[in-house]
Chains A and B, each alone.
Chain A
Amino acid sequence: MLRRFRIVFSTLVLICFFLVFVDFRSIIPTAYFNILLYLQFIPSAIKFLDIATWAAAGFFIVLVLTLLTGRTYCSFLCPLGIGQDLFSRIGGRFKKKFRRYGFKRPFTILRYSLLALTVIVTLIWGIYMITLLDPYSIFGRFMTYFAKPAVLYINNFLAGILGKFDIYTLSNVPVKRFALIAYSIPAAFFILVGTLSFTKGRLYCNMICPVGTLLGLLSKVSLLRIKFNETACTRCGRCALGCKSSCIDFLNHDIDVTRCVDCFNCLNTCQEKALSYGFVSLKKKVHETDESRRKVIAGSILMLLGSSSVSKGQQKSAPTPKKDSTVKENKTYPVCPPGGVGIADFNKYCTACSLCINACPNGVLQPALSQYGLAGLMQPVMDYHKSFCTYNCTICTEICPTNALKPLILEAKKLTQIGKTIFIKDNCIVKTEKTNCGACSESCPTKAVHMIPYEGNLLIPETTDDICIGCGHCEFACPTVPYKAIFVNGNPKHVAAKKPVNVESEIKTPVDFPF
């Protein structure tokens, strides 16, 4: 019963996550994103550090849930965990007989070291380890780098067929590929997590995942857990053979709660009904309590909570702001998405889950390679050679689960300057070819790029910094190669742009035809 509930529930969760990440037609309202992402442990914790309201208290609910029920989060809510269960199931089909997991010793040193390392690195240097190991973000990258393109290719194939029949309900969506090297880390993790889950069940969760290790520690004092009825048990060992976490030591009637993910498979496997899920007996609880361990748990939580506020005082790994940008042709700063407040702030909170990269209707967000430095690896960066930031859109700011991108209303976004446009006259068609172009000015939504008289009848661009918002439409539209004649240099700190001033025209409603 519990197992069936788990399977149905987790399947729904996985489907929802899948849909949210591959929703290339922006069908799902952003409010639903937030509901789904509310209970994701790491994103919620980071968001809480930033805004500290109930709107970001999902991680706290997860902690309470773990204290009550054990690592149910790992089986019910974690998309990477559920995905691994799916892989394990497929892997099981390939075995000739049913797969035997069996009891294994835990990788105690490795997993606690990784947890400690994650906490320490986060505390001292920044978000690197969390970016790398947060299970939700890993899942997000799998979806972004592999699942969504696959869905797009299927869509485009179907759209092609329907188009032949004059039906245009599906439209072709060009697949924007990332730089090849951007795929390396997600691909490595896909191979790692995929292979481990295919052959060894939840080994990744119990060996590497810092969230799994942390929740495992908390599970030691959880109220509900899997129990043995020692008199009913015949020590047949079926439970241990079917345990994805390899955590049932049936000979000693011991279950390693730090590794048990509450999948409830064992409850169904046991023919004697010797296993049950219920309140832990008082006797056992006292027996397991260990002061030093509790301190570790409490310490870990405190460290996680305190990490950001401490790291705020640390040196920023991203470039520090300069007043004026004088370097031409080269971007001195990358452009970080609107809502990011500034490059350093953004780098600190983003776990590179890539949800925004998926949700962006224009595909302007690309995973950063070296633009932000190592701290910002795989974090979204505006790539104006690929696309531009559409003026009437705030989707990325609405869905960010960690609040690295803070919500902006449309009017505010239209006045948020994320970068400034720089014109390189020597590259411009109008100067080099002596012909009209103006693709940049044509695209500019604020007319920060406008045309002024040049030689003869020619017009050439001129820029007004204070009304430019750095959307990059000019850079995208500029036809020169290999270097653009106009580009956007990122603002290390986002600032408010001035509202374009506009006056009524002298041209009035005509009373007669002028011809």
Chain B
Amino acid sequence: MKRRDFFKTSVGAGLAAGAALSLGGYEKLWASAPSVARYDMVAVMGGNPDAMFDLGIQELGGMSTFVQKGQKVLIKPNIGWDVIPELAANTNPLLVKRIVEHCLKAGAKEVYVFDHTLDNWVNCYKNSGIERAAKAAGAKVVPGNSESYYQQIEIPGGIKLQSAKVHQLLLETDVFINVPVLKNHESIRMTCCLKNTMGLVWNRGYWHSNNLNQCIADYALYEKKPALNVIDCYNVMVKHGPQGVSKEDVVLMKSQILTSDWVAGDAAGAKMLGIPTEQIEYIPIAHKMGLGNMNLDSLNIKRIKM
């Protein structure tokens, strides 16, 4: 997509948002995001990560549906591994960059990007290409390597996980945008929207030793939910996840899924990988807990092929 087209799209999105406001949807904008969007989910296929996002976010009414002027935004990609972008263990840097640009265009006061990495964080930020891409777009890239950045929160209603230490940015920002990369995960079968939250917390070892599936679902109870999940399915690691061994693990899928319902997002991710949803235990658990809808048939999904 050319810059000019991008501007046109943005203007269109702005108008749409304005129209929505004039039609009396003002209160809705301040309510939880899902009720505002025209679709429960937008799935795009066939383009580059940035172009697909432009289209997808347009279908959801533009970024201004989710980000208001002057708000602080947290973008949480997956930057867990010290590998190059082609191996798809981390979110595509082009996608992160474009989301940052959209947020700033929508009037965000500040956009932050971080992850609690598994490999050495300096190398992860650098070799994933995300640090450079996000900074180029105007985001602040923040470390998540030290416990001193994390604060205790309570998760009322959690069955196994009643509290956690989350990055202070999650608490200090107004909008949380979850940007996972879809991957096979040998240990828990798939990593996507819900699993990506493990990079928000410090003490994830606790999750592993206390029924990982339940903890992943429990965390989704926490009040600070993502306004939007953007699932990167451009290059998809279909085996040896979440880290991957070599390029043979990666399949080009040229897809992207945008949704405010992260359980639905995970259900769609499971379909992309060809894994029965029930096998990925945290999805049905989260569904039963009322944290989202895993029945894709009952959702209003917009499918776009570029």
Decide yes or no whether A173 CB sits under 8 A from chain B.
yes
* B218 is an interface residue with CB less than 8 A from chain A: no
Known pairs A503-B248, A507-B274, A514-B271; A156 contacts B209 (CB<8 A): no
Supposing A168-B141, A361-B122 touch, asked if A507 and B240 sit within 8 A by C-beta, the answer is no
B127-171 CB contact bits vs A (8 Å, 1 = yes)? Answer: 100000000000011110111110000000000000000000000
Task: Report yes or no: B145 in contact with A174, Cβ–Cβ below 8 A.
Answer: yes
Q: With A436-B188, A442-B185, A442-B243 in contact, do A173 and B146 touch (Cβ < 8 Å)?
A: yes
Q: A439 and B208: CB pair below 8 A?
A: yes
Residue contact A436 to B187, C-beta cutoff 8 Å: yes
Contact A505 B206 (CB under 8 A): no
Chain B residues, Cβ within 8 Å of A503: 248
Q: How far, in whole Å, are A474 and B238 apart by their CA atoms in the complex?
A: 21
Stretch from B20-28, B222-230, B251-259 contacting the other chain:
B251-259
Check if A26 is an interface residue, CB within 8 A of chain B: yes
Q: Does B301 sit within 8 A of A, measured CB to CB?
A: yes
Out of A172, A390, A443, which one reaches B148, CB within 8 Å? A172
Which among A436, A441, A451, A505 is the interface contact of B251 at CB below 8 angstroms? A505
Which residues of chain A are within 8 angstroms of B274 by Cβ–Cβ distance?
507, 514
State whether A505 touches B245 (Cβ < 8 A).
no
A292 at the interface (CB under 8 A from B): no
- C-alpha gap A439/B273 in the complex (Å): 21
CB-based contact B187/A459 at 8 Å: yes
Flag if B149 contacts A500 (CB, 8 Å): no
Which residues of the partner chain B approach A393 to less than 8 Å between Cβ atoms? 120, 123
A429 CB contact (under 8 Å) in B118, B146, B209:
B209
Most buried by B among A156, A173, A502: A502
B side interface size, CB within 8 A: 59
What separation, in Å, do the CA atoms of A393 and B82 have in the docked complex?
Answer: 10
The reply to whether B272 and A514 contact each other, CB–CB distance below 8 Å, is yes
- Contact across chains for B249 and A502 when beta carbons are under 8 A apart: yes
In the complex, A509 Cα to B305 Cα: how many Å?
14
A172-B145, A392-B82, A441-B187 are known contacts. Are A500 and B212 too (CB-CB below 8 A)? Answer: no
Taking CB atoms, residues of chain B closer than 8 Å to A504 are 248
A392 (CB) vs chain B CBs: closest residue: B82
A508 in contact with B148 (CB, 8 Å): no
Q: Counting CB contacts under 8 A, is A308 at the interface? A: no
Provide the residues of chain B in CB contact with A436, threshold 8 Å: 187-188, 212-213, 281
Of all chain A residues, the one with the shortest Cβ separation from B214 is: A435
Q: List 11 A-B contacts (CB under 8 A).
A: A156-B148, A174-B146, A392-B82, A435-B213, A439-B187, A447-B240, A479-B209, A503-B248, A509-B252, A510-B255, A512-B45
A interface residues (Cβ-Cβ under 8 A, vs B)? 25-26, 156, 160, 163, 166, 168, 171-174, 361-362, 390-393, 429, 433, 435-439, 441-447, 450-451, 457, 459, 477, 479-480, 500, 502-505, 507-510, 512-515
Q: Does the CB pair B186–A390 fall under 8 Å? A: no
Q: Does B296 contact A (CB under 8 A)?
A: yes
CB-defined contacts of A25 to chain B, threshold 8 Å: 122
- The residues of B that contact A172 with a CB separation of less than 8 Å are 143, 145-146, 148-149
* A361→B213 CA distance, assembly (Å): 32
A48 to B43, CA, bound (A): 63
When distances are taken between beta carbons in the complex, the residues of chain A under 8 Å from B213 are 435-436
Cβ of B119 within 8 Å of any chain A Cβ, yes or no, is yes
B34 proximity list for chain A (CB < 8 A):
none
Give the distance to chain B from A27, nearest Cβ to Cβ, in Å: 11
Given the known inter-chain contacts A450-B186, A515-B268, please indicate yes or no for A502 contacting B246, CB distance below 8 A: yes
Cross-chain contact B271 with A446 (CB below 8 angstroms): no
A-side contacts of B45, CB under 8 Å = 510, 512-513
The contact of A500 among B43, B147, B245, by CB within 8 Å, is B245
Closest to B82 in A: A392
Chain B residues with CB under 8 A of A445: 243, 245
Q: In the bound complex, how far is the Cα of B240 from the Cα of A445, in angstroms?
A: 9
Contact B211 A451, beta carbon cutoff 8 Å: no
Identity of the chain A residue whose Cβ is nearest the Cβ of B203 in the assembled complex: A479
Q: Are B188 and A438 in contact (CB under 8 A)?
A: yes
State whether B211 touches A435 (Cβ < 8 A).
yes
Given the interface pairs A451-B187, A479-B209, the reply to whether A505 lies near B149 with Cβ below 8 Å is: no
| Most B CB within 10 A of own CB, among A172, A362, A505, A508 | A505
In angstroms, how far is the closest chain A Cβ from the Cβ of B182? 12
User: B119 and A391: CB pair below 8 A?
Assistant: yes
B116 on the A face (CB < 8 A): no
**B168 nearest in chain A by CB position:** A163
Which residues of chain B have C-beta atoms less than 8 A from A392's C-beta? 82, 123, 127
Measured CA separation A163–B144 after assembly (Å): 12
Contact B146 A361 (CB under 8 A): no
Give which listed residue, A390, A429, A507, A514, contacts B208 with CB less than 8 A.
A429
**Are A441 and B248 within 8 A (Cβ)?**
no
**A residues less than 8 Å from B148 (CB atoms):** 156, 160, 172, 174
Partner of A509, one of B188, B205, B208, B253: B253
For residue B32, CB closer than 8 A to chain A, the reply is: no
Residue of B nearest to A429 (CB): B209
Select which of A437, A457, A513 is within 8 A of B187 by beta carbon.
A437
Q: B239 within 8 Å of A by Cβ?
A: yes
Q: How far is the CB of B305 from chain A (nearest CB, A)?
A: 8
Contact assessment for B143 and A171 in the assembled complex, using a CB-CB cutoff below 8 Å: yes
A391 to B, closest residue via Cβ: B82
Tell yes or no: B279 within 8 A of A by CB: yes
A263 → chain B closest CB, angstroms: 41
Which 7 A/B pairs are nearest by Cβ-Cβ distance? A438-B187, A172-B146, A171-B143, A479-B209, A479-B205, A435-B211, A502-B248
| Chain B residues positioned under 8 Å from A433 (CB to CB) | 209-211
- How far is it, in angstroms, between the C-alpha of A173 and the C-alpha of B146 when the chains are bound? 6
For the complex, what is the distance from the CA of A503 to the CA of B250, rounded to whole Å? Answer: 11
B38 contacts chain A at the CB level, 8 A cutoff: no
Q: Is B110 an interface residue (CB 8 A)?
A: yes
In the assembled complex, the CB of B58 is this many whole angstroms from the nearest CB of chain A, namely 18
B118 to chain A: closest CB distance in Å?
6
Inter-chain contact B272/A441, CB cutoff 8 Å: no
Q: Is the CB of B82 within 8 A of A439?
A: no
